Structure 1
Amino acid sequence: MTATAAQPLLVAPLGLLGLLTSPLAELLIARFLPRLGGLPSPLVRITTAVGSAALFILLALRFGFSPALPAYLLLAVLAVQLSRVDVAHHLLPNPLVLLLLAAGLGLLTMSAVLVPDWSGLLRAAAGGVILFLGYLILGLVSPGGLGMGDVKLAAPLGMYLGYLGWTQLFYGGLLGFVVGGMMTILMLRLKRGIKPSEVAHGPAMFAAAIGVVLLLA
């Protein structure tokens, strides 16, 4: 089904689902990861809910009724929440990154079975390994530039990008550093006295990956 045909049936309900899923995710994170300080402020919660809803709508337009849609909706929810946590705490919690990896792999496997698209699933596994190893090498060479949380996050993002294609994997991985550099320059201009290593890199990785998912069909 085309994106136009999916619009009236899928876009509005998924926008509402995004609004509802975001606060639910924050409640669960506050419950199971209390070390992060509980629920964020009302302004942050409104912002994350609107952001999640917008991503759900864009992904509905991108995928329509594709079996891959649930996997990328999960990516959207956790991208918003992990970005929020990374900005606030400079931390990408292992349980959330592992959830993105394990649940994402399960949903992509289900998609590969339904389509079927076994080559896409193998490419997803290879993409996760490739991007993880690339970030790991860079993290070891320049430990001040990348944290281990960023290295671990590269695995699920590489998986999601690889499922769509090698081109998506290449540009998604490369643009993560471009967006990260731009965000670092912006933050250094806005906040005097901070170091480049103090700027969260996770949001840039998510922005690049989701941008490539949405724009490169």
Structure 2
Amino acid sequence: MTLAPAALALVLVFAGLLGLVIGSFLNVVIYRVPAGIPLTRESRCPSCGAPVRPWQNVPVVSWLALRGRCASCGAPISVRYPLVELATALAFAGVAWLFLGEGAWNAASVVVTVAYLYFAAISIALALIDLDTRRLPNSIVLPGYGVVAVLFTAACLLGADWSALLRAGIGAVALYLFYFLLRVIRPAGMGGGDVKLAGVVGAYLAWLGWGSFAVGAFAAFLVGGVFGIALMLLRRAGRKSAIPFGPFMLAGAWVGIVWGESIAQWYVGLFAIA
């Protein structure tokens, strides 16, 4: 069944609103997980310790209403909080459009969409944590293996192609081993967290096809290389500067997810023409 335009619009709105809520939670994850603070602890202002009331924690709206300041002490609240919430909302709506906008609406496609919504959420959290701390916490990366295995298997039980599950497993192992080899060859250039994340990324890319896998894996190094060159040109980094690679892995993965098959077909077509 294909969604009618009105129904699709409702799905996208729901996905965006869900993204706002999840984005608010991701702000907590990004701050607390690297610091070892329990996620269940009551939210408080880091400046004065005043508890954050429920009406002060409405995504985006509360930040605007408070004019970016704590209601108790007036300390500034980083603009990154509403930006993360908005980014997650846009990402969730984009994933819903990508997987439900033009394809068939069935139980399997819904489960696959949930799998990529989860990946979108951890992509945002891991990218910002890596930029802040140069770490990719096991508590976020490792559960990704279980989540992707359970959701992709469930999708196959509901009618998705079993070959996609096999391809996802092969992709996870292949990309993990590739990053592991890079770490063995040059330990200073690749972190252990990157290696662990590679398996999760490989599964999500290969589920969609080998074109997505190839493009997504290559795009990580292309985006990272361009960013590194830009920093050197701006004299913000040198040839030996340590740059967290997790955000580029995840950016490359989403290039592969969104455009991978199209780019791969275009590239192969060049050789066919020649």
**In structure 2, distance between residues paired with 1:165 and 1:117:** 12
1:90 aligns with 2:97: no
Give the aligned length. Answer: 217
Is the Cα contact below 8 Å between 2:231 and 2:237 reproduced in 1? no
Identity %: 34
Q: Counterparts in 2 of 1:24-39, with a 5 A limit?
A: 24-28=25-29, 30=31, 34-35=35-36
**In structure 1, distance between residues paired with 2:223 and 2:29:** 29
Q: Counterparts in 2 of 1:58-77, with a 5 A limit?
A: 58-64=94-100, 65=105, 66-67=109-110, 68-77=112-121
Q: 1:197 to 1:138 in 2, by over 3 A?
A: farther
- Determine which structure has more spread, i.e. the larger CA radius of gyration: 2
What is the match of residue 13 of structure 2?
Answer: 12
1:49 aligns with 2:49: no
1:113 aligns with 2:157: yes
- 1:200 counterpart SS class: coil
1:153 aligns with 2:187: no
Alpha-carbon distance, 1:33 to partner: 5.0
Q: Counterparts in 2 of 1:156-195, with a 5 A limit?
A: 156-190=200-234, 192-193=236-237
Gaps of 5+ in 2: 47-76, 262-274
Q: Which moved more, 1:119-128 or 1:138-147?
A: 138-147
Structure 1, residues 152-171: CA drift from partner, whole Å, max 9, x if none?
Answer: 11000000011111111111
Q: Which moved more, 1:69-78 or 1:102-111?
A: 102-111
One-letter code aligned to 1:13: F
Which is helix-richer, 1 or 2? 1
**In structure 2, distance between residues paired with 1:167 and 1:23:** 34
Structure 1, residues 76-114: CA drift from partner, whole Å, max 9, x if none?
Answer: 000000001000000000110012221122111111211
Is the Cα contact below 8 Å between 1:3 and 1:61 reproduced in 2? no
- 1:154 counterpart SS class: helix
**In structure 2, distance between residues paired with 1:106 and 1:196:** 40
Is the Cα contact below 8 Å between 1:36 and 1:89 reproduced in 2? no
Alpha-carbon distance, 1:148 to partner: 1.2
1:123 aligns with 2:167: yes
Alpha-carbon distance, 1:28 to partner: 4.7
**TM-score normalized with structure 2 length:** 0.72
Q: 1:195 to 1:52 in 2, by over 3 A?
A: farther
| Match 1:104 to one of 124, 130, 148 | 148
Once superposed, what is the RMSD of the aligned Cα atoms? 2.5
Structure with higher RCO (Cα < 8 A, 6+ apart): 1
Alpha-carbon distance, 1:116 to partner: 2.8
Structure 1, residues 18-59: CA drift from partner, whole Å, max 9, x if none?
Answer: 111011133356555533799996322222111111111111
1:21 aligns with 2:57: no
Q: Which moved more, 1:195-204 or 1:58-67?
A: 195-204
